[in-house]
Structure 1
């Protein structure tokens, strides 16, 4: 079956809202060309999968025929060979060793720290104060990730360095990955800033790992779990470098997802008073004035619907896979080595899967309607063997943080101060200025 060719080339870079809209318009338009469409990424020929059923095949039913694609090759020199970038037998081994650190029982233990960190942040708020909400959610996400990973006073230098460098690493790392290699070697301010930040984080985490090895004490945090992990088949543990790579993966993946989801959740609650009212009523009923615990997350049904809708509306732009062998998708045989792209943003805004997809509608995640969403149409954490191992941690953190804030506060946008959006791999709010108002 011939593969349709998309008109024009996929625009790669640009941080303005018009460019963001052009990118999304382009990727959304590809579904009009077919289920599998050839797209040129510069000089690279790729195959763009637009059909959610085929995305499910790509990630799940035929997932073993694919590995991470060219985008992840670009990340590996910076972020190491953690779960986000590794492949094959090594990925399976690492996933088995990392998974216990994020098991449901451990996440339940971290939930108390999540609620406490959120309460400590909001304790600094004053009625009528104007907050840059995206800065608060970034600071909160870093605090929670660091408390889960590093629990001792000896870890303070590592925590301070993460606070200083993590968002430089995340944002500039995506820009570096999407630009030609030659550009990344130029002495540009962004390149120098990124190189210094990633170098500092690499050094401080490796030093911490070595000191923990010498300490030999289980501190009950994620880092201790990674250091104690053993391969079930061989009994071997991780090297210092492998522990470093997984720590960096957990930090980058966990901090960005939750910080952005929290910021956009508060934004959407403020824009939709009836949704906000329902969230407040549910939080009041379930919590009855106390701090949220892990057991409460499943009871906050409507709040979880709101979070799902935020994850639907503000996902990553695109992800890649590479075919290990010739593989058939939707009647098209992809050759060995083919680079395959899918866009969570385009899938999440496909009117065939989501009616009126640009409307914020948490009720689309009611049990009855959610059951109608096609497989592969909603992939905020991926799917299959490479689904984000920290998805339960992230979802728990978002729900507990929102519930903690909603129990006491409303966040009201400043009039005539629209939120600016910066864009790399996903939409970053900038100047999300909101007034904190105590709930009556």
Structure 2
């Protein structure tokens, strides 16, 4: 049957102006026009899927009929063929080789790094000090992921470069993904910043890999796991390792830093949620450091995390059909571009009543069991689900609990949002007030 075309289409440019100016406001409303709606990104025709069941088909049930789409093609020359961008058997092989780095016992070991880094950050705050929370959480996320990846002294130099460059790569990369191809060739400041950041990061990460190969010791970090991993007696090349490291840095820092900043802001906006968070942390943790074993007992804290991941997820991902695919009443030809938006799904009032309201209490076991498959996808789904999702959720819970044990954070002005690949907080100023 005919696929409805989304409103606000411009001649030649299609829906790109609406996507760049309206962002999630535009895509969140597309379900009103159908379960599958056509979007034109310049000359590129794409199909926006807003129904959870059809989303589950794209990501899981019929996932083998899709590969990464046009948005990821634009990243590949710069980010390589890590898990985020690779396809087919190569992707499955790399995923199998990387999985041991994220097994439960490894995450349990990383948990002490998370708690130590969060406590170190909280210890630097001064009573009454106004903090820019998203900057603090970006620094913390880089520190945690960087220390989990690189435990050696030379690895710490890589962490410093990542802290300097990673957000330029993420934010300018998203602008490139939504823009016509000729834009990335223009000598404009954003392009120069992006290219320079990629070059710096590649140089320092390859230097760390070279150093590790000369040493050959398992340092208990993710890099050691990647370089020791083999399948059929064959390990990763330096380039393959670099691609996976850059993927882990890009995916592991952005989502976590955004979620932590927004979680702290939302808690500060809601006194009753904050009171219950403090009471739970006092009862479960007390004065000692938070451990991996505490995470399952921090129920309300976990609900805050789930609600934050619901309200502030990534904007959208793209897939491309490998063959003809039937999605509901729509037949998509081979080579069709498909867009799935976690943000649109998570703000659909059919499944999340009062979607703009921050309500951790919605995350009861009954609510979760009643959610249709595909309605809540903060980490994707199927064999494309983020390999570090447990790592990220553990990190957010441990950080929230560590900060809540020591501080009350009070917002000093309403939140501002800078929307790129996700709703980035922009100047979340909060006053640090000691709890005791």
Same fold? TM cut 0.5: yes
Closer/same/farther in 2, CA of residues 15 and 352 from structure 1, 3 Å limit: closer
Q: How far is 1:98 from its partner?
A: 0.7
Q: Does 1:436 align with 2:411?
A: no
Q: How far is 1:333 from its partner?
A: 1.1
Q: Report what 1:423 is aligned to.
A: 419
What does residue range 5-404 of structure 1 map to in structure 2 within 5 Å? 5-9=5-9, 11-12=15-16, 19=21, 22-231=22-231, 234-404=232-402
Q: TM-score, normalised by structure 2?
A: 0.97
CA distance, structure 2, for counterparts of residue 15 and residue 209 of structure 1: 39
Cα pair 2:146 2:156 within 8 Å, conserved: no
Cα pair 2:15 2:40 within 8 Å, conserved: no
CA distance, structure 2, for counterparts of residue 57 and residue 366 of structure 1: 26
Q: How far is 1:210 from its partner?
A: 1.3
More divergent stretch after superposition (60-69 vs 367-376): 367-376
Runs of 5+ unmatched residues, structure 2 = none
Q: How far is 1:171 from its partner?
A: 1.2
3-state SS, counterpart of residue 298 of structure 1: helix
Give deviations 1:42-100, integer Å, cap 9, x for gaps.
Answer: 11111111100110111111111111111111111111100000000000000000111
3-state SS, counterpart of residue 394 of structure 2: helix
Give deviations 1:262-285, integer Å, cap 9, x for gaps.
Answer: 000011001111111111111111
Q: How far is 1:350 from its partner?
A: 0.6
CA distance, structure 2, for counterparts of residue 8 and residue 377 of structure 1: 26
3-state SS, counterpart of residue 371 of structure 1: helix
Closer/same/farther in 2, CA of residues 413 and 81 from structure 1, 3 Å limit: same
3-state SS, counterpart of residue 333 of structure 1: strand
Cα pair 2:147 2:156 within 8 Å, conserved: no
Cα pair 2:252 2:388 within 8 Å, conserved: yes
Q: How far is 1:37 from its partner?
A: 1.3
Q: How far is 1:13 from its partner?
A: 6.2
Cα pair 2:102 2:388 within 8 Å, conserved: yes
Cα pair 2:158 2:208 within 8 Å, conserved: yes
Runs of 5+ unmatched residues, structure 1 = none
Q: How far is 1:24 from its partner?
A: 2.4
3-state SS, counterpart of residue 353 of structure 1: coil
Closer/same/farther in 2, CA of residues 208 and 14 from structure 1, 3 Å limit: farther
Q: How far is 1:194 from its partner?
A: 1.0
3-state SS, counterpart of residue 4 of structure 2: coil
